[in-house]
A and B are shown apart, each in its own frame.
Chain A
Amino acid sequence: MSRLSRLLLCCLAIACLLQSAALRAEQAYLDVGIVVFDPGVPEQDTAGADKIFPNIRRAEAVYLPVELRRVMENSGDWGAVRVMPSASDLVDLTVAARILESNGQRLSLQVTARDATGQAWLDQAYTAAAAEADYPVTGDGDPFRSLYTHLADDLRTHLQALSPKDLERIRLVARMRYAAGLSPEAFAGYLGGGGDAPYTLLRYPAPDDPMFERVERIRKQEYLFIDNVDEQYGRLHDNMAQTYNLWRQYRYEQAAYQAGYEQRAESREDNDRHGSFAAMLRDYSTYRSYRMQQQDVSELAGGFNNEIGPTVVETRGKVFRLSGSLDSRYREWRGILRQIFALESGLPAAPAAPPAGADHSAAQSE
C-alpha cells in the first residue's frame, strides 16, 4: 500500500471517528420541556403568614420555570430546554411542578420529571430558604437559585446513569409518540405499552420513509411555535423580575418582622391588672399592629398587581395566553398541523383535543 493510500485511509478513519463521536454527542442530549407550573392556589382563601395571593401565584407559575430553564441551559447537560404552556409529546423529558410555598422566605415545589418512555425520573418536593443577604436581589440573581441547581443536579444524576443506548431509545420513543399522536393509523403499531406501562419501541421506520419525513417536518414546525412561546415567557420573566424581586424582599422583611413581633408579644411580662385600661390598651395595640402588618402585605400584593397587571394585560395576545389561552392556541396550532399532515399523507388525522375557549382569530393570525 502506498504512503498516499495509507494517509487517505487514516484520514477516513479519523473522519469516521469524529462523525461517530459527533453523532453520539448529539444523541446524548435530550430535549427538555418545562411545563408552566401549577400555581397551587387553594380553593379556600388562606390567611396569616401563609396567605396566598392568587394573581401573584399565577405570575410566579410562569416566572419560576424560566429560572429553572436558565439553570438547566447553563449546565450544558441538555439539548434545547423550553418552557411550554402544556405537556407535549414533542420533548424527550418533561418537567412539571406545583408551587407548594412561595413567600420570599421559602420556596417549595413539588416536581415531577418523566421521559418520553413514561419512566419517572423524580417526583419529590424541593425546598429552599432565602437568607437576609439574598436581598436586595441584584443583577440576574435569585434568592432560590440553590433550589434550581439542586433540581438540575438531580436530573443530571439520572441522566448520567443512562447509557447512550437508553438515551437514544428515549429520543426515538419521543419521535414515535409524536408521530403516533399525529397519525395513530400509520404509527401506533411502532410502539408498545402506553397508559401506565412504559412505552417501548417495537420497530422504527426507515430513515427515508416519506411518511416519517412528513412527520419530522411537522414536528419542526411545532418546535418553531414552541420556541416563539418560550421566548415570550422569557420576556415576561425579565419584565417582571425587578418588581417581583421587590415583592419577595418586602414579604421576607414583613415575615421576619412579624415573627419577631409575635415572639416579643408572647414573652412580654403581663404586669397589668386584669380589666385595667393598661391591659386593654396593650391587647388592642398588639392586635392592631398585628392586623395592620398582615394587611400591609395584602396592600403590597395590590401594588405588585398594579405594576405587573398592565404588563400581563398589555401583552395578553402574547404573554398571558402563555398560561391561559395560549394553551388552547397551542392545541389549535397542533390541530392545524394534524390537518396539514392528513392532507399530505391522505391518512385520517388523529382527533385533536377540543381547544377550550380557543382564540380563533389569534390562531389564524399565526
Chain B
Amino acid sequence: MYALSWNRFRSALLGGCLVLAACGSSPPQPARVSVAPVDFSGSWELDFSQSDTVNDAYDHIMRDLQRQIRKQQEASQGGVAVGGMAYGTAAGIYALARMAEIVTEPQLLDIKQTEREVTVKREGSFALECDFGPGSTGVVESPFGREACGWLHDQLVYQLVLPDGLRISHRLTVSPDGQRLQVVTQLSTRSVSQPLVVAQVFNRYDPNRTGIHCTQTLSKGRVCTTEKPGQ
C-alpha cells in the first residue's frame, strides 16, 4: 500500500520535472525563503531498485528525440528527408550521459539542516550548501562556476552553471513520511535541445548502527569512539 503511494508520489514528481524540463532550458527560479518548509536532515543511502540508471535516462532522451525527428520527417512531406539524428546531437547526448554518471555517482548523503542553512554532504564529491538566512543571496560565484539555491515549494533546488555552458540542477524532495528522499538531477547544455534527467531515490539510514561515532579533530584527524556522544 505504502509502496504504491510512494510510487505514485515519485511518478508525479518525476513527471512534473520532465514536463518542466521539456518546457525549455531555463527552469523556474527557486525562491528565497526565511524558514525552510521541509526538514531534509539525516543520513541517506541510494536505493538502486527505485532509482533510474543513467542508461535509463539516456534511452529515454534518445527515444524522445527520435520520436521528434520522426514527427518532423512526417511533417516535412517532400522536403529534404532527414536520415536520423544529427551526429552532433547524438554525441552531445552521449557526453551528457557520461557526465551524468559522474555527477550522480554519490551513493551516500548526509544532510545537515539548521534554521538558516541546508548542507548536503555527498560521498566523494563536494557538498551542496544552501544558506537562506537573512542577508544571504544563495549564490556562490567563482571563476569556475556559479552556484545558486533556493526553494521551489517543498523542493530544495540547487543549480550549477559551469563556464562551458553545462548546467546541472538537483531537486530534492522528501516523501510525506520522511523516510525517502528523491533527488532529480538534470544536466543540460546548449548543444542538446533536451536535458538529461536522472531520478534517484535515497532511503533514510542510521550511520551509527555500527556503534561507532566519529568526530573530526584538527590534531588527531578523524577520531572514532564506541561511546555514544555525550557519554
What is the interface of chain A, defined by CB distance below 8 A to chain B? 43-45, 47-48, 242-243, 246-247, 250, 262, 265-266, 274-277, 279-284, 286-288, 290-292, 295, 299-300, 302-304, 306-307
Contacts and interface: CB of A to CB of B under 8 A. Distances in A.
Contacts of B136: 44-45
Nearest to A48: B142
Contacts of B114: none
Contacts, number: 94
A307 B217 contact: yes
A304 B218 CA distance: 5
By size class, the interface of chain B is: 35 or more
Report, nearest first, the 6 A-B pairs whose CB atoms are least far apart: A291-B126, A277-B95, A275-B191, A283-B162, A303-B218, A287-B145
A104 B131 CA distance: 26
Interface stretch (B19-27, B65-73, B98-106): B98-106
Contacts of A47: 140
Interface-centre pick from B92, B103, B126, B129 (highest chain A CB count, 10 A): B126
A275 B165 contact: yes
Contacts of A242: 219
Contact of B219 (A243, A262, A302): A243
A277 B98 contact: yes
Interface string B150-190: 00000000001011111010000000000000000000011
Contacts of B133: 45
Contacts of B125: 288, 292
A45 B129 CA distance: 13
A280 B135 contact: no
A286 B160 CA distance: 13
Given A287-B160, A291-B126, A280 B189 contact: yes
A284 B219 contact: no
A280 B189 CA distance: 9
B99 A277 contact: yes
Contacts of B11: none
Given A280-B166, A280-B189, A303-B221, 15 more contacts: A45-B133, A48-B142, A274-B164, A275-B164, A277-B98, A280-B95, A283-B166, A284-B162, A287-B142, A287-B160, A288-B126, A292-B125, A295-B127, A306-B218, A307-B219
B83 interface: no
Interface of B: 91-92, 94-96, 98-99, 102-103, 125-127, 129, 131, 133, 135-136, 140, 142-145, 160, 162-166, 168, 189-191, 215-219, 221
Contact of A290 (B92, B142, B166): B142
Nearest to A42: B135
Contacts of A290: 142, 144-145
B203 to A, nearest CB: 25
Given A43-B135, A275-B189, A292-B126, A280 B219 contact: no
A252 to B, nearest CB: 14
A246 B143 CA distance: 29
B142 A280 contact: no
Contact of A44 (B96, B98, B135, B190): B135
B214 to A, nearest CB: 11
Given A275-B189, A275-B191, A288-B126, A280 B162 contact: yes
B57 to A, nearest CB: 16
Nearest to A274: B164
Contact of A246 (B95, B102, B218): B218
B189 A284 contact: no
